[in-house]
């Protein structure tokens, strides 16, 4: 999304990893924004294990992995299509 931001806006994206903000600034369709909402909080847990208030590996299962993978695919497909 940051690459798309640079391509579209011709400036550096905001610092941080807020996918919801990037979607808003890029005018992403609602399905992409909803997928970003699903993924946005996962950055902190994945990067800072103590933020999970538990063992990160115990916070996910096959079902949640499928949800997150599907959300990531929605975002990536939109970004890929927008960059072409």
Rounded to two decimals, the pTM is: 0.87
Return the residue matching tokens 């690459």.
3
The pLDDT confidence band at residue 51, using thresholds 50, 70 and 90, is: confident
Concatenating the DSSP letter of every residue in the chain gives -HHHHHHHHSSPPPSS--HHHHHHHHT--HHHHHHHHHHTTHHHHHH-GGGGTS-GGGG--HHHHHHHHHHHHHHHHHHHHHH-
CA distance 48 to 51: 6
Supply the pLDDT for residue 12.
97
Question: Residue 54 has what pLDDT?
Answer: 77
């Amino acid at each position: 999304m940051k690459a798309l931001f640079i391509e579209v806006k011709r400036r550096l994206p905001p610092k941080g990893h807020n996918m919801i903000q990037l979607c808003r600034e890029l005018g992403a369709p609602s399905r992409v924004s909803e997928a970003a909402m699903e993924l946005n909080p996962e950055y902190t847990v994945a990067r800072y294990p103590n933020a999970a208030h538990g063992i990160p590996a115990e916070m996910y299962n096959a079902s949640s992995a499928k949800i997150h993978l599907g959300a990531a695919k929605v975002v990536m497909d939109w970004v890929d299509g927008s960059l072409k």
